[in-house]
């Protein structure tokens, strides 16, 4: 009877992120000189999906109560790789895309193997692998350059039926093809279970290792989709260290804004997508209000701090003070 | 005994943890269509027994047969597959997932490779109904349910796995009376459906109502198996007694100081559903024990005194004056002077990677510092005193405390607090997992501290210790003090009987059997 209420509780984080995004986006477009037009939406979407893909990647790992500090670097590496491979005839381009995705998958699988079978802490393991991935990217593109199949790039960054941004359509497709099956599969549930209570999951005979491995591997794949899109927008590859780092950090911010718990076991990639879009809009808001761009990091930081603090209220209800430290 | 092949049999099962033998050539036969109760005091080997049965730990030796065929279980999942399902004392539910998710967790129904949510919902509703918990919504998150409801989900989860042997380890300890009677109905129905049920409980009345067969464990062995109802409560207690007295205890102080206000007093202390109207006094120079089965509120009581629990009702008095202790930092202040030797030294007592020196001086830093700077010379003197007093064996003061043996680690925890010369010392099962030699030293030390004027409240799961060390013992059951034993009344028989809350003929307070 009250099924919808349980659904509502479960989706609270996602809906909150959606709400924040909508409010910000409405403020943004209503103050934009051009208003709510297809062009404005397309530009915003194209900027937003990059972070959205990386945030989805981060979500998968965070659900297992891990963290992936290499997502930004996989994003860069695959961007550099795509600027070599995604060129030429349609067949060559298609093979190039597959190769780039395969590399992303491999990067994620390496992270997973090190964390799960090497039993290293995710934070340390992924800092190290992230540096390696960046290093490879730098060797591939010591200087910005390269090119991409522009027909494909324009198609995927343009508009469908003249109004809908193509990048959003791709994002939706990826959600349907990767996130939805994962979250409803046994492996996905194992990832959640491992993040929520690994001992209980083990005692219940849940395939913890395979679940976590799938999460890390798919994270690599999603980051590489982001890398492909970066290439489509810029037509070039560039191993920009600062940009990789900020994507990693922003992905964590987006995940938190999207209601995904950093303690694991809770949240959805869809929430993280709205978190990413909302986070991007913060920057754009400053632009339409003519703020000095110098204010942007400070402003983003404050918003993030407020969002994170909302999650800490539960601590006030704890009756055994030792539970503060669990 | 039955001549047919039993459903499940364990023969000569042994398991050691380090030097401690948890199971020693244990035997057990389980018949289909019956409820088999397992009895035994703390540490008798019951938990290890079911961990072996359910694939959580591998036995060192011995064999298990199912339907007459030998089996080994590499993991809980393997045991589940064979039809042995255990409901553990520590819940195995995943808090962030829904009730339905949890019920099907080990083998979710699938369609096109994805979890079939509709089928999952059906299975969950079915299992909840079978467990008599149809009121729990399958979409509710487990973490939002109260403990008693979670326990019902746990039972539903076990039933959904279609077990042949169902093990319930203290499965009713968190349940309300209404739930218990529902569960009993469910268990009886399962028995008539041909399941074998293994029922571990400390509640004698539950066992009397349910069990067909009983086995008593002591020192890791199955000392008796008998038909339920063929032995009186007294005979059962007799069977459970009988551990060797291997420890040497210091003599108790002959006469207790009286008259002055007690050093520590509690009046009607209650907290959540774990502490129920507890009143007690501890005088200077006295060692008061907390007895009873594990998990009856002893730990919470100590934490309550030490300022860890919020929302406490009742009163705490120090030297006859009411005080409010709001944190461990407040508890150790001069006017109160309390110290707590925690149960888990690895997480609550020590910073394992830090050095012995640093760990020792943590609690006393404020006394050793002048203007915020630590007086290294004073620190060294105090540390030398303590290392000497407790005979801590360490390669040096600058080795990580994690490198010390368990016994010496525990000495460091104790020494750390002694550096403050506490007036009230709370000990939470301080000798668990340490060697006999160190245990003896701790007993001596406790008596020495009491004689020097400290008030000591001492929780132990080891009855020998309570008998050997304490001037008085308060036995807790369900968060309330059920019985107070003084002097010669502290016998193993009295401790076990009151821990099980048996109202036998020898229970009345103040009637020492041997005096």
Considering A159-173, B145-159, B400-414, B427-441, the range whose residues carry the highest mean pLDDT is A159-173
Q: How many helices and strands, by DSSP H and E, does chain B display?
A: 17, 24
Q: Per mean pLDDT, which range of A23-32, B17-26, B121-130 is the poorest?
A: B17-26
By percentage, how much of chain B surpasses pLDDT 70? Answer: 92
Q: What is the mean pLDDT of residues B361-374?
A: 83
pLDDT of residue B513: 38
Establish if A259 touches chain B: CB-CB under 8 angstroms.
no
What backbone phi and psi angles, to 5 degrees, belong to A311?
-75, -15
pLDDT(B2) > 60: no
H or E element in which residue B354 lies: none
pLDDT of residue B203: 75
pLDDT(A78) > 80: yes
pLDDT of residue B407: 81
Closest CA to B48 of B209, B256, B200, B241: B200
pLDDT(B247) > 60: no
Q: Which of B95, B140, B303 sits opposite A197 (nearest CB)?
A: B95
Return residues 290-319 of A near B (CB < 8 Å). Answer: 318-319
User: In chain B, what residues touch A259 (CB-CB under 8 Å)?
Assistant: none
CA distance A59 to chain B (A): 16
Q: What is the mean pLDDT of residues B268-295?
A: 90
Q: Which residue has the higher pLDDT, A289 or B18?
A: A289
Over residues B186-195, the pLDDT tens digits come to: 889 989 989 9
pLDDT of residue B514: 38
Q: Which residue has the higher pLDDT, B4 or B290?
A: B290
Q: What is the mean pLDDT of residues B84-92?
A: 78
pLDDT(B342) > 90: no
Establish if B106 touches chain A: CB-CB under 8 angstroms.
yes
Over residues A156-188, the pLDDT tens digits come to: 998 888 889 999 999 999 999 999 999 999 999
CA distance B132 to chain A (A): 20
Over residues B498-511, the pLDDT tens digits come to: 888 876 544 444 33
Decide if B31 contacts B227 (C-beta within 8 A).
no
Report the distance separating Cα B493 and Cα B485, nearest Å. 11
Over residues B248-266, the pLDDT tens digits come to: 688 887 666 666 789 999 9
Q: Do A203 and B93 touch (CB under 8 A)?
A: no
- Strands annotated E in B319-374: 321-323, 338-341, 369-370, 373-374
Dihedral angle computed from the Cα positions of residues B120, B121, B125 and B127, in that order, rounded to the nearest 10 degrees: 10
Establish if B93 touches chain A: CB-CB under 8 angstroms.
yes
User: In chain A, what residues touch B114 (CB-CB under 8 Å)?
Assistant: 181, 184-185
Longest Cα pair distance anywhere in chain A, in angstroms? 66
pLDDT of residue A236: 93
Helix, strand, or coil (residue B511) = coil
The pairing of strands B455-459 and B287-291 is: parallel
Q: What is the mean pLDDT of residues A29-40?
A: 86
Q: Which residue of B has its CA nearest to A321?
A: B308
Reported as a pLDDT band with limits 50, 70 and 90, residue B301 is very high
Establish if B201 touches chain A: CB-CB under 8 angstroms.
no
Reported as a pLDDT band with limits 50, 70 and 90, residue B515 is very low
Tokens of A101: 């995705």
Q: Which of B76, B303, B327 sits opposite A205 (nearest CB)?
A: B76
Over residues B26-71, the pLDDT tens digits come to: 899 999 999 999 988 767 788 888 889 988 889 999 999 999 899 9
CA distance B183 to chain A (A): 21
Q: What is the mean pLDDT of residues A231-242?
A: 93
CA distance B300 to chain A (A): 9
- pTM (two decimals): 0.77
pLDDT of residue B508: 41
Closest CA to A270 of A40, A46, A60, A73: A60
Over residues B438-477, the pLDDT tens digits come to: 888 889 899 999 998 899 999 988 888 898 899 999 999 9
CA distance B270 to chain A (A): 13
Q: Do B115 and A202 touch (CB under 8 A)?
A: no
Establish if A254 touches chain B: CB-CB under 8 angstroms.
no
Considering A243-247, A312-316, B229-233, the range whose residues carry the highest mean pLDDT is A243-247
User: In chain A, what residues touch B102 (CB-CB under 8 Å)?
Assistant: 204
Q: Do A205 and B75 touch (CB under 8 A)?
A: yes
Report the distance separating Cα B155 and Cα B167, nearest Å. 10
pLDDT of residue B289: 94
pLDDT(B282) > 90: yes
Q: Taking the domains of chain A in order of start, what are their residue ranges?
A: 57-239
DSSP character string of A133-195: HHHHHHHH-SSSB----HHHHHHHHSEETTTEEHHHHHHHHHIIIIIHHHHHSHHHHHHHHHH
Domains annotated for chain B, with CATH where assigned, are 8-240 (3.40.50.300), 261-337+423-503 (3.40.50.300), 344-421 (no CATH)
Decide if A18 contacts A268 (C-beta within 8 A).
no
User: Which of the residues B105, B146, B299 would you substitute to probe the A interface, choosing the one with the greatest number of A C-beta atoms within 10 Å?
Assistant: B105
User: In chain A, what residues touch B142 (CB-CB under 8 Å)?
Assistant: none
Reported as a pLDDT band with limits 50, 70 and 90, residue B21 is confident
Q: Do A322 and B95 touch (CB under 8 A)?
A: no
User: In chain B, what residues touch A197 (CB-CB under 8 Å)?
Assistant: 93-96
Q: Per mean pLDDT, which range of A142-151, A223-232, B434-443, B503-512 is the poorest?
A: B503-512
pLDDT of residue B507: 41
CB-count exposure of residue A309 (10 Å: 0-12, 13-18, 19+)? exposed
pLDDT of residue A172: 96
Reported as a pLDDT band with limits 50, 70 and 90, residue B4 is low
Establish if B57 touches chain A: CB-CB under 8 angstroms.
no
Non-local (6+) Cβ contacts of B320 within 8 A are: B261, B262, B265
CB-count exposure of residue B103 (10 Å: 0-12, 13-18, 19+)? buried
Over residues B343-361, the pLDDT tens digits come to: 777 777 888 888 888 888 8
Q: Which residue has the higher pLDDT, B379 or A60?
A: A60
ipTM of the complex, rounded to two decimals: 0.79
- Rounded to whole angstroms, what are the CA distances from B193 to A255, B1, B8, B82, B197? 49, 22, 17, 18, 11
Dihedral angle computed from the Cα positions of residues A286, A289, A291 and A296, in that order, rounded to the nearest 10 degrees: -10
CB-count exposure of residue B334 (10 Å: 0-12, 13-18, 19+)? exposed
Q: What is the mean pLDDT of residues B124-152?
A: 87
pLDDT of residue B46: 84
């Amino acid at each position: 009877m009250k099924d919808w209420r349980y659904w509502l509780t479960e989706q609270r984080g996602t809906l909150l992120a959606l709400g924040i995004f909508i409010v910000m986006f409405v403020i943004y477009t209503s103050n934009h000189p051009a208003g709510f037009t297809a062009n404005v939406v397309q530009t915003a979407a194209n900027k937003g999906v990059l972070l959205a893909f990386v945030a989805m990647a981060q979500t998968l790992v965070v659900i297992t109560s891990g963290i992936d500090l290499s997502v930004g670097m996989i994003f860069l590496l695959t961007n550099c790789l795509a600027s070599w491979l995604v060129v030429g005839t349609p067949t060559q381009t298609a093979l190039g895309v597959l190769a780039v995705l395969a590399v992303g998958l491999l990067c994620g699988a390496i992270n997973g193997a090190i964390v799960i079978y090497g039993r290293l802490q995710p934070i340390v393991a992924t800092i190290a692998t992230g540096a390696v991935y960046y290093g490879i990217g730098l060797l591939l593109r010591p200087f910005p350059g390269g090119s991409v199949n522009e027909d494909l790039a324009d198609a995927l960054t343009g508009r469908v039926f003249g109004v809908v941004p193509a990048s959003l359509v791709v994002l939706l497709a990826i959600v349907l093809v990767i996130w939805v099956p994962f979250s409803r599969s046994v492996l996905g549930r194992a990832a959640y279970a491992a993040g929520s209570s690994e001992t209980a999951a083990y005692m219940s005979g849940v395939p913890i290792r395979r679940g976590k491995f799938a999460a890390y591997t798919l994270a690599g794949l999603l980051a590489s989709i982001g890398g492909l899109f970066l290439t489509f927008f810029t037509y070039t590859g560039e191993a920009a260290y600062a940009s990789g780092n900020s994507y990693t950090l922003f992905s964590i911010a987006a995940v938190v804004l999207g209601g995904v718990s950093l303690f694991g076991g809770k949240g959805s990639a869809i929430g993280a997508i709205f978190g990413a879009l909302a986070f991007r809009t913060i920057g754009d808001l400053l632009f339409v209000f003519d703020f000095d761009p110098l204010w942007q990091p400070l402003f983003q930081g404050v918003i993030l701090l407020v969002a994170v603090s909302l999650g800490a209220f539960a601590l006030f209800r704890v009756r055994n003070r030792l539970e503060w430290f669990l | 005994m039955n001549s047919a092949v039993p459903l499940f049999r364990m023969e000569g099962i042994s398991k050691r943890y380090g030097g401690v033998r948890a199971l020693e050539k244990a035997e057990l036969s389980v018949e289909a269509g019956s409820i088999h109760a397992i009895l035994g005091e703390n540490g008798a080997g019951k938990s290890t027994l079911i961990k072996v049965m359910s694939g959580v730990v591998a036995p060192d030796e011995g064999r298990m047969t199912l339907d007459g065929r030998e089996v080994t279980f590499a993991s809980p999942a393997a045991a589940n597959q064979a039809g042995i399902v255990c409901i553990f004392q520590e819940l195995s539910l995943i808090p962030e997932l829904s009730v339905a998710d949890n019920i099907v967790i080990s083998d979710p129904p699938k369609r096109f490779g994805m979890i079939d949510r509709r089928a999952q919902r059906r299975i969950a509703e079915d299992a909840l109904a079978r467990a008599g918990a149809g009121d729990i919504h399958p979409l509710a998150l487990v973490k939002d349910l109260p403990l008693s409801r979670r326990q019902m989900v746990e039972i539903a989860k076990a039933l959904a796995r279609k077990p042949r042997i169902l093990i319930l380890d203290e499965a009713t300890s968190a349940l309300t009376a209404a739930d218990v009677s529902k569960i009993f109905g469910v268990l009886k129905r399962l028995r008539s459906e041909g399941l074998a049920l293994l029922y571990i409980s400390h509640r004698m009345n539950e066992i009397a109502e349910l069990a067909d067969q009983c086995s008593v464990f002591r020192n890791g062995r199955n000392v008796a198996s008998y038909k339920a109802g063929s032995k009186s409560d007294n005979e059962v207690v007799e069977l459970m007694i009988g551990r060797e007295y291997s420890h040497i205890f210091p003599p108790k102080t002959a006469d207790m100081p009286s008259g002055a206000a007690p050093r520590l007093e509690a009046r009607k202390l209650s907290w959540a559903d774990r502490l129920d109207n507890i009143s007690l006094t501890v005088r200077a120079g006295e060692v008061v024990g907390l007895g009873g089965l594990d998990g009856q509120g002893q730990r919470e009581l100590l934490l309550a005194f030490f300022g860890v629990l919020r929302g406490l009702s009742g009163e705490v008095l120090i030297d006859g004056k009411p005080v409010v202790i709001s944190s461990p930092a407040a508890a150790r202040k001069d006017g109160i002077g309390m110290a707590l030797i925690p149960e888990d030294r690895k997480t609550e007592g020590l910073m394992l990677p830090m050095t012995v020196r640093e760990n020792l001086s943590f609690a006393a830093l404020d006394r050793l510092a002048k203007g915020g700077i630590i007086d290294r010379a004073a620190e060294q003197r105090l540390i030398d005193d303590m290392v000497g007093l407790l005979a801590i064996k360490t390669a040096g003061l600058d080795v990580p405390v994690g490198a010390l043996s368990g016994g010496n680690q525990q000495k460091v925890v104790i020494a750390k607090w002694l550096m403050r010369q506490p007036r009230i010392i709370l000990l939470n099962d301080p000798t668990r997992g340490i060697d006999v030699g160190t245990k003896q030293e701790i007993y001596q030390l406790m008596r020495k501290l009491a004689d020097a004027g400290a008030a000591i409240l001492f929780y132990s799961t080891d009855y020998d210790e309570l008998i050997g060390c304490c001037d008085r013992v308060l036995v807790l059951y369900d968060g309330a003090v059920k019985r107070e034993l003084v002097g010669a009344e502290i016998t193993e028989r009295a401790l076990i009987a009151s821990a099980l809350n048996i109202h036998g003929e020898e229970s009345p307070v103040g009637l020492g059997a041997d005096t």
